Amino acid sequence: MKAIKISACVLLGLSAIAIAVMCVQSVVTPIKFDNARVEREAKVVENLVALRTAQLEFRNQNGRFTTDLDSLVLFLKNTPKKELVKMGSLTEKQLEGGMTEAKATEMFKAALARVEKEGKTFESDSAKYAYIWETDKAMIAAGLQGYARDTVRMNMMQALYKGKYTEENIADICIIPFSNGKKFDVKVNNEYTSSSGAVVPLFEISAPFESYLGDLDAQELINLQDQEVKLEHFPGLKVGDVVEPNNYAGNWE
């Protein structure tokens, strides 16, 4: 009898320990899941923002969005970005004297052409403009020192990402972080027509929860997915929408 009592006490003790462990896990597991989710989603959002930037620039130059992420990367690597340089402005006296933006811009373009004809080279566009302001007689006579209107070509990745990406790592923006190499899903609707009759190109780039949280606790992932579906939300992260225009916003914003 004594042995039976001891065995019963041991079993009760082990049961109590097991219950305690289960209670701790029921608290710790969701916390660990949520912490990992926050950390991972920050990286996923970073790529989605970079892709949005690339898509918008692609549309600016091509009039449409693309579903091909490889083509988007080639666009970033090989296409220069055109930017309008605007320096200086006309004074009231110049405007009253008949000078206009159009006239001043034409004068500056003519000065640029004369410099190019001279075959001079400069370290930067700013140095070229300074040379014009100091030496071009027509610009000086019109009092247009400091005035510049020019379209310059810049390295696309440098212009868009300020050195964050290079030719070696730019393709990484197409990969969903923590997904074991899976690419983002891309949808495009270049023919969407608004209520006013205007055609508005739309795109949507997404990463479902299972793509970047799939190696975490399975039940927590199921709970998260069910919660978002019940709320009629996309179960994951996405930017843009091909059904309803949302100004290309992310669902985390």
Quick: pLDDT tens for 164-205. Answer: 999 999 999 999 999 999 999 999 999 999 888 989 999 999
* C-beta atoms surrounding 59 within 10 Å: 17
Q: Does pLDDT of 104 surpass 80?
A: yes
Distance CA 196, CA 8 (A): 78
36, exposed or middle or buried, with CB in 10 Å at 0-12, 13-18, 19+? middle
pLDDT tens for 31-82 read 999 999 999 999 999 999 999 999 999 999 999 999 999 999 999 999 999 8
Q: What percent of the chain has pLDDT over 90?
A: 82
Name the token pair of 145: 């020192």
- pTM of model > 0.85: no
| Residue-range domain boundaries for the chain | 39-78+169-253, 81-154
Which are the contacts of 163, defined by CB distance < 8 A and separation ≥ 6?
Answer: none
